[in-house]
Amino acid sequence: MIDGVVSRVDCHVKVLDDDVVERAIRAGLDVLVYAPHFTRLPEIRRRAAAYSSDELLVVPAREVFTGTWRTRKHVLAIGLDEPVPDFISLEAAMAEFDRQGATVLAPHPEFATVSLEESDLRQYRETIDAVEIFNPKHLPWHNGRASELADGLELPPFTSSYAHLPSSVGVAYTAFDREIETDADLQRALEGNVARRIVYDNGLCRLRTTASELAHLCYENTWEKVDRLFLSGTEPTHPHHIAYDGRFDDAAVY
């Protein structure tokens, strides 16, 4: 710890508005990592900058959905210089993160059908900087397994609220024994051997959060998925979108 300084970081939220910022500050957070689904990097950066202040740093990030809808594996990248689309192979995504020198995190490992498996963590051990060992969406045995993976692979831990709902912001965070004032500070803390603590509410509030977030997950995988697949047209983060100028056509999985 440097002169008693602690930075409290919610390492992954999907929502960002005035209410979210107010809740984060009230919870004593110093940093939010903002990585909404299917939103292009320039828009994420714009919103993150708009909501950052001296009280709360909002860091833009991308949770990239690699693979097809049936073989999704989510990977969280901080510090991207150039946009990376969803729906490309895991191999292509990891190569691009490595090329750009991004900080690479493994959120909710082995959870449902949307996560990196142990074999993936082992294969990309040198690229991945930290593994999420507590997620409010998880049931206890999921968190236990995530901790086993991080310990077994000797990868640093992190946690987040993984908030898809404003009420979830701040229920879990990573406390770094380091002052974090910029995006680069956060990357160095995650990538280095900075001491950290995994902090979360394990009482009734946590149970309500788990229930609410799992209900939202069901919504995401029913009506919202139908809307994305059949009603809304090409995703803005699809590799064939004009915004990517054909750079990822060869890596696209559909």
pLDDT greater than 80 at residue 157: yes
| Spatial separation of the C-alpha atoms in residues 18 and 166, rounded to whole Å | 10
Average pLDDT, whole number, for the chain? 89
Reported as half-sphere exposure (CB side, CA atoms, 13 A), residue 99 has a value of 10
The model's confidence at residue 160, banded by pLDDT at 50, 70 and 90, is very high
Reported as half-sphere exposure (CB side, CA atoms, 13 A), residue 108 has a value of 21
pLDDT confidence of residue 12? 98
pLDDT greater than 90 at residue 64: yes
In terms of pLDDT, which residue wins out, 166 or 77? 77
Most confident listed range (1-5, 201-205, 216-220): 1-5
pLDDT confidence of residue 249? 94
pLDDT in tens, 212-242: 655 545 545 543 443 444 434 467 999 998 8
pLDDT confidence of residue 217? 54
| Spatial separation of the C-alpha atoms in residues 107 and 67, rounded to whole Å | 16
pLDDT in tens, 83-94: 999 999 999 999
Q: Out of 4-8, 27-31, 193-197, 206-210, which region has the weakest mean confidence (pLDDT)?
A: 206-210
pLDDT greater than 60 at residue 143: yes
| Spatial separation of the C-alpha atoms in residues 3 and 126, rounded to whole Å | 32
Contacts 24+ apart (CB under 8 A), 232-236: 235/38, 235/86, 235/87, 236/38, 236/39, 236/40
